[in-house]
Amino acid sequence: MFDTFTYRFLHFRRPTLTPSSLPSLPQGIERFFVDTPGGQIEVLHGKPSKQARHGATPLFFVHGGMGGAWVWLEYLSFFASRGIPCYAVSMRGHGSSWHPSYLRMVYFTTKRMLADDVVAAIKWVQKRHDGREVVYIGHSSGGGLGQYILSAPEFGHVKVNGLVLAGAVPGFGSLGVYINWWRLDPWFSFRMIFHGWHPNSPLSHPVLTRRVFFGEQLPGSYLMKFQQRASRYESFLWPLGMMSRFVKPENLLPRITSWGANKVQGIMVLGGEIDKIMTIPVMEKLANTYRESYTGLVAQKKIEGDDRDGVKKLLGDGGKDTVGQGVRCCYVPGAGHHLQNDVTWEIGAQKLLAFYEQL
C-alpha cells in the first residue's frame, strides 16, 4: 500500500523535446506537427498499408488525461492496414507536442485551450482530405472534449461525420465518475496531499495505473512502458470544467452530418466491460441521454432519422451491445478504462470498424 507513496514517477519540469529525442514509432506510423498560436502540436498518421479506400472518411482519435496520440498506436495500425485514413492528435502538454510549464499547464490551461488544439488538428486533417468531415473518436476526457466542441456555440463551424465516445466523460457531468475513483482508491486524498497536489498523484505508480485503467491480464512490461510515457503533469481545469453538465445534446446532434432516413447510427458509445470509473451504468446513461435527444429532434424534424424500431440487441462479443435511436452502444469484454490499450483492444477496434462501415 505505502509503496504507492512515491515521487519516482512524478515530474515538475517539462520534457526536453528534440528531433533526436522523439519516441520511435511503429512501422507504418508517421509523425507531423501542426502549427498553433501556442506552439506545434503532434499528429500521428497511420499510413495505409494497402491501397487507401477511395474517398474514405478519415478517423480522428483524441486522447484523454495524461495520454497522448501514442495511446492510439494499436488502433492506427489496425485501421491503416484496412486502407482507412486515420490520425491521432496530442494536445499541448501531451505526447511530443509543445509543453507549457508545470504551473501554466496545471493551473492555467482550460478545456477551451485544449479544444482549440483539437480543432486546429481537425482542420489540418480536413485540408488533407479535401474538406471531408472526420469521424471523431475521443477517449475519456478527450471524449468529453469532443462533446464540448460539438455543443459549444463558439465552435459552431465544426461538424463531424460520426462521434465515438470511448470510455468518455459524460456530457451530463463527471462527478459520479470521480466518486467511483475515490471509492476505488481509499488513499486518494492522502496521497494527493503527500504529493503536494500534483495532478498525476492518482496514477503515480503502476499499481494505481493498473487498478484504474486496466484489467489484471495486461503484461507488466506493457504497463511499465505506459507508465513511463504518460504526460508529466496535467491540467486541473480540464476535468474540473466537466464535473457538472457541460453539453446540450440538442446542440450536439445536428452537428453530426451522417443522419438520414437509412437508420444510420451517428453516435457510438464504446465502453470497457470492466472499466471501474466509466462503469457500464455510466455508459448506459450516456447512450440513453443521446437516444432521448435523438428521438425528440427527429420528432421535431430538426434532424433526419428513423427511430421506429426502438433499441435492439446487437450481436457481438460480450452480449451487451445495443443499437437504435441514433446510438450504437458496445462494450469490449475484459477491457478496463483504457480499452484501446488493454489485452482485448482488437475486439473494440472491430466494433468501431463495424460502426464506421455503417455510416
Q: Looking at residues 117-122, what average pLDDT do you find?
A: 98
pLDDT of residue 2: 63
pLDDT of residue 311: 95
DSSP string, 3-62: GG---TT---S-----TTTSPP--TTEEEEEEE-SS-EEEEEEE--SSPPPTTPPPEEEE
Residue 70 pLDDT class (50, 70, 90 cuts): very high
Tens of pLDDT, residues 32-66: 999 999 999 999 999 987 677 777 999 999 999 99
166 phi/psi in degrees, rounded to 5: -95, 105
Measured CA to CA, the distance from residue 67 to residue 63 in angstroms comes to 6
Q: What mean pLDDT is reported for the chain?
A: 95
Residue 151 pLDDT class (50, 70, 90 cuts): very high
Tens of pLDDT, residues 348-359: 999 999 999 999
Q: Looking at residues 13-29, what average pLDDT do you find?
A: 91
Measured CA to CA, the distance from residue 173 to residue 240 in angstroms comes to 10
Q: Looking at residues 220-249, what average pLDDT do you find?
A: 97
All residues at 6 or more sequence positions from 201 whose CB lies less than 8 Å from its CB, including other chains: 10, 191, 192, 194, 195
pLDDT of residue 1: 56
Measured CA to CA, the distance from residue 271 to residue 283 in angstroms comes to 7
Measured CA to CA, the distance from residue 46 to residue 26 in angstroms comes to 10
Tens of pLDDT, residues 336-346: 999 999 999 99
Percent of the chain with pLDDT over 70: 99
pLDDT of residue 195: 96
Tens of pLDDT, residues 324-339: 999 999 999 999 999 9
Q: Looking at residues 65-70, what average pLDDT do you find?
A: 98
Percent of the chain with pLDDT over 90: 91
Q: Full-prediction pTM beyond 0.85?
A: yes
Rg, Å, the chain Cα set: 19
Higher-confidence residue of 264 and 150: namely 150
pLDDT of residue 18: 85
Question: Distance of alpha carbon 36 from its chain centroid, rounded?
Answer: 21
Flag whether pLDDT at 266 surpasses 80.
yes
Query: Comparing C-alpha atoms, which of 209, 216, 221 is closest to residue 184?
Result: 209
Contact predicate 234/106, CB 8 Å: yes
All residues at 6 or more sequence positions from 319 whose CB lies less than 8 Å from its CB, including other chains: none
Residue 301 pLDDT class (50, 70, 90 cuts): very high
pLDDT of residue 49: 76
Higher-confidence residue of 17 and 241: namely 241
Element (DSSP H or E) covering residue 322: strand 322-324
pLDDT of residue 308: 79
Query: Comparing C-alpha atoms, which of 321, 305, 313, 314 is closest to residue 263?
Result: 305
